[in-house]
A and B are shown apart, each in its own frame.
Chain A
Amino acid sequence: QSVLTQPPSASGTPGQRVTISCSGSSSNIGSHYVHWYQQLPGTAPKLLIYMNNQRPSGVPDRFSGSRSGTSASLAISGLRSEDEADYYCAAWDDSLTGHVVFGGGTKLTVL
């Protein structure tokens, strides 16, 4: 059971806009930045969005992030076949001595 809750799967057709949610609590998303990772099949996870809504150099602007209260979302517009991957959210959690927590991951399928 992950501290951050993501839907296990999402899907869309090429060109569509898809959103993936990440739900947490006041001890994590509610008070800390959210970061998103994309993991293509057989590869290491790659930073996609940092500090809620910032894109690293090289990440297309089709990818965007947002945070509101204790939830965050990743949006992908103009969906492409190469976006088919697993997506994870991450944040710091203040509980106990503090630690990084991940969502369980969302497998995105491009139909």
Chain B
Amino acid sequence: QVQLQESGPGVVRPSETLSLTCTVSGDSIRSFYWSWIRQPPGKGLEWIGYISYSGSTNYNPSLKSRVTISVDTSTNQFSLKMTSVTAADTAVYYCARDLGASGYFDYRGQGTLVTVSS
């Protein structure tokens, strides 16, 4: 059974960098694609980006200038960094496995709420 678990600070100050990590168990991170998705309170889902099994990345054009996704194969984790955050970045952040870089998320974490506030 594949499991994903997000971890990171629950509060980030405006203009600072949001950093989250997703720990994957039950599958090697050297396969498939690994995505970050977010959902502002009371709003819909937004794809942030993915990192592939080969290490290539692809980001939402609207966030690309502020986002970096990286992978650590030794710990089977992948991470999200988002710079210059504002209140608009307050959301539940999910990590997920994408089977084909197509929005086909078969496994995801339970989500972690990140609030941007001073």
Q: Report which A residues bind B (CB closer than 8 A).
A: 2, 32-33, 35, 37, 44-45, 47, 50-51, 56, 88, 90-92, 96-105
Contact = CB atoms under 8 A, between A and B. Distances in A.
Interface in B100-118: 100-106, 108-111
Interface residues of B, number: 25
Contacts of B47: 90, 99-102
Interface in B77-118: 94, 98-106, 108-111
Contact of B60 (A47, A88, A99): A99
Interface of B: 35, 44-47, 49-50, 58-61, 94, 98-106, 108-111
B108 A45 contact: yes
Contacts of B94: 44-45
Contacts of B49: 99
Given A37-B105, A45-B108, A90-B105, 14 more contacts: A33-B100, A33-B102, A35-B104, A45-B45, A45-B94, A45-B105, A88-B44, A91-B102, A99-B47, A99-B60, A100-B35, A100-B98, A100-B102, A105-B45
A92 B104 CA distance: 9
Contacts of A50: 99, 104, 106
Contacts of B50: 100
Nearest to B110: A44
B102 A105 contact: no
Contacts of B45: 37, 45, 88, 90, 102, 105
Contacts of A45: 45, 94, 105, 108
